[in-house]
Structure 1
């Protein structure tokens, strides 16, 4: 699974509208899995561990939803992969795909698919089957929207693609942060990521709340909404990054910006509203908006083409980390240089400061230079998702 396709997953999820089945549609783009036609298949061992200290096992509900390459689907408690159907909606208008915990450590079977593992605390999530393209799709929670039925519920998710014995997975804060989650992956090696430092959940809430421009993104003790979604909810200024974007544009009118990708080094200059590069290919970018920077989309969209896409990814990361104006050779790889100045991505800064390994998925291109809470294994034998302490 290429880095650009991973970014497509995260960017698509972040930009999805309320009623759009975001993860399912994005999972189709990842082209993962095969159609199981409702037949159970030998899957990967998935362990769910409740070390939250805040919710007992009976109050935690797990959902495994996504796409098998053709259909949007969900996983049953016994590991069966089933397509979403309109008839799955109950009398209340919502599906009940919840998988209960059987103890502090619950072992499940994860079939080949691409999607999300949702964790809901206190009450069940309200997933709704909706008609789409002559079939059924799934409307996912959009907890940054106050009118969404899942807004009152404490929940979060991890993302994954499992195919051909290979697992690609991450914890994500691209949309929001609520439940502290860690992932562990066993296979060719033993890896973990996403683990928060002791007391870090409260520290994240405190850090984001302390920055005036970001303070409205903190929703009680339920969640912190990513600033891109905050724009749509009227909680974050749509011109927040404008002074920094202007600074970048001014800096590279008179000097070169060099961006090195697997294809080689691209050399760019600003002329008017365009940042244009020569090198292995000719690529150019319009002047981005704050929304473009936060979603790594629009003027910074990254097609999976091997030229424009990788350059856009590096630019997106440098804008969000606010290293672009001061550093003419990108990508920047020293985390000590990230998130400097008053105008920076204080949300992503708080997420990275909170994790034991310094890695987090605070924005869609956070995997540039390897700073995302992402792990993979081509011969996976076990995936573990742990609810770590809230305190």
Structure 2
């Protein structure tokens, strides 16, 4: 199965960060590849926000086609990103306007990327050179006050569409602002991301009321994820320290078992490390930091190796859901047991409580045990992205 983490591998490999640094891409210039109309499928864009007219909504489809950074034009053409796309203001204008009324339909080419929605203003994507002199895009970073898009209400959904099918999700891993839902039609009908009535306001109020999370709420514009809050000085860098100390103490005296596709691993803490033995070998983890937990990175980084990666994902999910100490058999599969501790990931808790199906991407390992707002289809026919009521 393609998860969000693997789904975005191609996108992340070619996308620039907010600081304009890209990891890879293809040099674009006088010999840049020509635009092409790739085989695609219908993408329907529906504005049911109730707060913004179609004329105030703009869509941006950006990502990677496997060889280079690309964007989609209103007629469904896949174009490579080029430095010459920056206008007099220093930014590209890749906006796709909605139809004057009703549903907007265009062809979505095969690619891996994001569908951004911007309400009330345009987003500023800047075409930049990476360290190798290749073209890439600096994406919006709504959690950074100095970002040129900070004052624009915006959000995104993520997808990979290729010969194997469509893999897509709504995401709150970085922030939450615009309620979005995805409907995927193919071998079956699937929907995810739909919020309960009034849930956007409840997410804002619930996060603001949670001890230590209040500064993550940026007016009525967005709620930023605690990892980004930590990096901005808005969230305690040692928030999870007591829970991590407790877990390392508990499993110094008893076994922790984790079951993955590779089999069952048994872990104990010794010498400060949580070490597992299982059917594919031994894996050890240093005690993670709060930042490691929130970003599912650092000590908890999950390589696509079939062993360490899945173990890291299960540990990260259990720590974010506050079940690691209470459930010595992981992964936990009962959502009623998640987020029950005072010291928990209240942002992810609020996001899951807000959705009709109880699924959300509140942190990067939220796909563990199937609790992410993610759907896929091997024979997709059409996809609909809806701006749902505020």
- TM-score interval for Structure 1 and Structure 2 normalised by the shorter chain: over 0.9
| Distance (whole Å) between structure 1 residues aligned to residue 66 and residue 243 of structure 2 | 41
Q: 1:341, CA displacement in angstroms?
A: 1.3
Compared with structure 1, are the counterparts of its residues 199 and 73 closer, same or farther at alpha carbon in structure 2 (3 Å cutoff)?
same
Choose which of 32, 40, 44 in structure 1 pairs with 2:41: 44
Q: Please give the secondary structure, in 1, of the residue aligned with 2:144.
A: coil
Q: 1:16, CA displacement in angstroms?
A: 8.1
Calculate the TM-score normalised by the size of structure 2.
Answer: 0.94
| Distance (whole Å) between structure 1 residues aligned to residue 89 and residue 137 of structure 2 | 15
Consecutive unaligned residues of structure 2, counting only runs of 5 or more, are 27-31
Q: 1:193, CA displacement in angstroms?
A: 0.4
| Distance (whole Å) between structure 1 residues aligned to residue 171 and residue 97 of structure 2 | 22
Q: Which residue of 2 aligns with 1:286?
A: 286
Q: How do 1:163-178 and structure 2 match up within 5 A? A: 163-164=162-163, 166-178=165-177
Q: How do 1:355-374 and structure 2 match up within 5 A? A: 355-374=355-374
Q: How do 1:133-152 and structure 2 match up within 5 A? A: 133-152=132-151
Q: Which residue of 2 aligns with 1:308?
A: 308
Q: Which residue of 1 aligns with 2:29?
A: none
Compared with structure 1, are the counterparts of its residues 193 and 26 closer, same or farther at alpha carbon in structure 2 (3 Å cutoff)?
farther
Q: How do 1:221-236 and structure 2 match up within 5 A? A: 221-236=220-235
| Divergent runs of 4+, >4 A | 7-13, 25-28
Q: 1:165, CA displacement in angstroms?
A: 5.4
Compared with structure 1, are the counterparts of its residues 177 and 79 closer, same or farther at alpha carbon in structure 2 (3 Å cutoff)?
same
Please provide the CA RMSD for this pair: 2.1
| Distance (whole Å) between structure 1 residues aligned to residue 42 and residue 105 of structure 2 | 7
| Distance (whole Å) between structure 1 residues aligned to residue 269 and residue 50 of structure 2 | 52
Q: 1:104, CA displacement in angstroms?
A: 2.6
Q: Which residue of 2 aligns with 1:198?
A: 197
Q: Which residue of 2 aligns with 1:341?
A: 341
Choose which of 119, 124, 127 in structure 2 pairs with 1:126: 124
The answer to whether the 8 Å contact 2:42/2:381 transfers is yes
Q: 1:11, CA displacement in angstroms?
A: 12
Q: Deviation digits for residues 297-350 of structure 1, max 9, x if unmatched? A: 000011100010011110010000000011000000000000011100000000
Q: Which residue of 1 aligns with 2:113?
A: 115
Q: Which residue of 1 aligns with 2:58?
A: 61
Q: Please give the secondary structure, in 2, of the residue aligned with 1:45.
A: strand
| Distance (whole Å) between structure 2 residues aligned to residue 383 and residue 299 of structure 1 | 37
Compared with structure 1, are the counterparts of its residues 69 and 12 closer, same or farther at alpha carbon in structure 2 (3 Å cutoff)?
closer
| Distance (whole Å) between structure 2 residues aligned to residue 39 and residue 282 of structure 1 | 48
Q: 1:41, CA displacement in angstroms?
A: 1.9
Compared with structure 1, are the counterparts of its residues 10 and 223 closer, same or farther at alpha carbon in structure 2 (3 Å cutoff)?
farther
Q: Please give the secondary structure, in 2, of the residue aligned with 1:238.
A: coil
Compared with structure 1, are the counterparts of its residues 285 and 5 closer, same or farther at alpha carbon in structure 2 (3 Å cutoff)?
same
Compared with structure 1, are the counterparts of its residues 172 and 26 closer, same or farther at alpha carbon in structure 2 (3 Å cutoff)?
farther
| Distance (whole Å) between structure 2 residues aligned to residue 248 and residue 11 of structure 1 | 35
The answer to whether the 8 Å contact 1:5/1:304 transfers is no
Q: Deviation digits for residues 25-59 of structure 1, max 9, x if unmatched? A: 5999xxxxxx9841112211100000000100000
Q: Which residue of 2 aligns with 1:352?
A: 352
Q: Please give the secondary structure, in 2, of the residue aligned with 1:235.
A: coil
| Distance (whole Å) between structure 2 residues aligned to residue 26 and residue 223 of structure 1 | 30
| Distance (whole Å) between structure 1 residues aligned to residue 357 and residue 202 of structure 2 | 16
2:77 maps to 1:80:
yes
Matched positions, count: 381
The answer to whether the 8 Å contact 1:96/1:126 transfers is yes
Q: Please give the secondary structure, in 1, of the residue aligned with 2:318.
A: helix
| Distance (whole Å) between structure 1 residues aligned to residue 327 and residue 24 of structure 2 | 33
The answer to whether the 8 Å contact 1:67/1:113 transfers is yes
2:257 maps to 1:253:
no
Q: Please give the secondary structure, in 1, of the residue aligned with 2:274.
A: strand
Consecutive unaligned residues of structure 1, counting only runs of 5 or more, are 29-34
Compared with structure 1, are the counterparts of its residues 275 and 8 closer, same or farther at alpha carbon in structure 2 (3 Å cutoff)?
farther
Q: Please give the secondary structure, in 2, of the residue aligned with 1:129.
A: strand
| Distance (whole Å) between structure 1 residues aligned to residue 167 and residue 111 of structure 2 | 11
The answer to whether the 8 Å contact 2:16/2:139 transfers is no
| Distance (whole Å) between structure 2 residues aligned to residue 211 and residue 350 of structure 1 | 10
Q: Which residue of 2 aligns with 1:31?
A: none
